[in-house]
Amino acid sequence: MDPNGVCFEGTWTKMAAPMTHPFLAACRREPVDRVPVWMMRQAGRYQPSYRAIRQKVSFLELCRSPELIAQVTVAPIDEFGFDAAILFSDILVHLPAMGLDLSFEKGEKGKGDGGPKIGNPVRTRADVDALRVPVPKKDLQYVLDGVRAIRTALADRVPLIGFVGGPFTVASYAVEGGSQGFTRLKTMLYAEPATAHALFEKLTQAAIVQIEEQVAAGAQAAQIFESWLGELAREDLEEFSFPYLARIAEAVRKTGVPSILFSTGTTAHLERMAKLGYDVISVDWRIPIDEARARLPGVAVQGNYDSTLLLGPREVAVARAQQLLRAAGPTPGYIFNLGHGIQVGTPTENVKAVVDAVHAFGWK
């Protein structure tokens, strides 16, 4: 489908003269008037407006309400002028439909800092075989309704990014039972490789059907959050991750929207990741941006700004944003973003100052 489509009675159709937003142009490495900027976790607890909503509903209740999804997704666009919106949801929302008992421990009303918890983690081949690939139109209707509600609320001001978790990152929560490291999952790779492959296969299928349906509902780009990929050795990436990530890239390519691969701790593997079929590779702060761009010819690059800088001082945050833009250079295909998500406690004034500085930056 066309990423600049319009919604007509629930179906997305092509507009006669689609306007290309700077974010979508940068994904395709086309020239832009200004560098587009958005930030991972741009909707979240650093915002007073988000915290006010979370006083009333739990995190999962929020993720399951299309109206609240739209409100929370659009708020940072109105507040800071980001060039793209990202669907408010989580990379684990489909796990209950797959048969896993998901909760967010301190994610009840009014509380924060709650990590995910899986009551019945995946440990054996039988556990993997019992997992069901979700049917988004049935199991995740609230996400798809959320996507439609966001597109309506945005009225094409900025494009909407849909997302799913990468197989390795989702598996780490499914197998460990929460944010408890990677030892059980990595041991599974070495002790029971066939079980691990069967798990990654199911999670890949789950990722593909979700992203296909998000795009059909109106998402105009797709980001794969493979946050913890840096935990794996090169040979394990080759065997247990890259083939699955390449399949997801291919599935996104068929939908017609640009694809973004996000990970951290993976700068040793950039040349290899450039060949997975993604339009954009998101890099963390552990590499100079000019080096990342030189090592990623033929793909757009996103990210690189250290989210800790946003904690202040503001002059340093702004100066380092300008320094990053200069180092990224004028070659089309750079999207300003963080190396990982905005941190809780980030002053909103600093976010605004950095977005404004990116927008004001020029090559003249």
**Residues at the interface with ligand CP3 (CB under 6 A):** 40-45, 54, 59, 86, 88, 90-92, 104, 107, 112-116, 163, 169, 179, 225, 227, 340-341
- What is the secondary structure of 96-163 as a DSSP string? HHHT--EEETT-STT---PPEEESS---SHHHHHH-----HHHHSHHHHHHHHHHHHHHTTSS-EEEE
Instruction: Please say if 295 is a catalytic residue.
Output: no
CB of 214 to ligand CP3, least distance (A): 12
CB of 347 to ligand CP3, least distance (A): 17
Q: Residue 211 in contact with residue 255, Cβ under 8 Å? A: yes
Task: Single out the catalytic residue among 54, 151, 247, 293.
Answer: 54
CB of 52 to ligand CP3, least distance (A): 12
CB of 5 to ligand CP3, least distance (A): 22
Instruction: Please say if 173 is a catalytic residue.
Output: yes
Instruction: Please say if 54 is a catalytic residue.
Output: yes
Task: Single out the catalytic residue among 46, 50, 173, 244.
Answer: 173
Which residue's CB is nearer to ligand CP3, number 29 or number 83?
83
Instruction: Report d(CA 347, CA 258) in Å as an integer.
Output: 31
Which residue's CB is nearer to ligand CP3, number 47 or number 255?
47
Instruction: Report d(CA 176, CA 181) in Å as an integer.
Output: 7
Instruction: Please say if 148 is a catalytic residue.
Output: no
Which residue's CB is nearer to ligand CP3, number 227 or number 266?
227
Which residue's CB is nearer to ligand CP3, number 111 or number 125?
111
Largest CA distance in the chain: 62
In Å, how far from its chain's centre is CA 236?
A: 23
Strand 221-225 versus strand 160-165 pairing type: parallel
In Å, how far from its chain's centre is CA 259?
A: 10
Burial 298-324 (b: 16+ CB within 10 A, else e): ebbbbbbbbbebbbeebeebbebbeeb
CB of 225 to ligand CP3, least distance (A): 4
Instruction: Please say if 41 is a catalytic residue.
Output: yes
Which residue's CB is nearer to ligand CP3, number 29 or number 80?
80
Task: Single out the catalytic residue among 29, 41, 151, 293.
Answer: 41
Task: Single out the catalytic residue among 28, 34, 45, 51.
Answer: 45
- Which of the residues are catalytic? 41, 45, 54, 90, 173
